[in-house]
Amino acid sequence: VENHKLPLVQLNLVLKSGWSNDPSDKPGTASLTAELLDEGTTTRNALQISDAVRDLGAELTTASSFDGSRVNLNILKRNLDRGLALMSDVVLNPTFPKDELERQRGIYLGRIVQEAKQPSVAALKTFMRNLYGPEHPYGQPFTGSGTEESIKAMHRDDLLNYYRSNYFPNNSAVVIGGDLSLQDGTAKLEKSFV
């Protein structure tokens, strides 16, 4: 979507895999995989990625939902090439560092405790499990946070396996909006992601 009113570009890399693609014995895998994409690559650690995003005046986010995962970049047009280099590094070269996994594990375990104390969330989790059944992908915890057991048992290899099985070109699309033509956007994406 071309819009030349402001010198901004929004890029959303969308994958057709989310919580419903979690291994049945490891709910929370998709969410943790997305969460850790920007926590370390083969060339940058989490702080270097954060600093690079800040230096570019950009916003780089990663997330997942039931049926998808995404990496989003919002950036000034003049910084787009450097932003795409950073975004492609995060998407193509994540390392899922063990120390960052441990940090996120603590956050997720705390989130699971909080969710159990929120009546509406607990009811929704129970409703989805009863509606779809415990073996159905939609029968897992509705928030993507997994279970206490699955998060405690999660290893770096689980994230790597999920990444390798779901993060590939013909399972994804890029949506671009802002101060960029389709031709320029396509050329920049091909340069950064090929």
**133 Rama sector, left if φ>0, alpha if ψ -120 to 50, beta otherwise:** left
Q: Which tens digits make up the pLDDT trace of 82-118?
A: 999 999 999 999 999 999 999 999 999 999 999 999 9
Tens digit of each residue's pLDDT (9 = 90 or more) over 31-86 = 999 999 999 999 999 999 999 999 999 999 999 999 999 999 999 999 999 999 99
Average pLDDT across the chain, whole number: 95
Show Cβ contacts of residue 84 under 8 Å, excluding neighbours closer than 6 positions.
11, 73, 188, 189, 191, 192
What pTM value is reported for the model?
Answer: 0.93
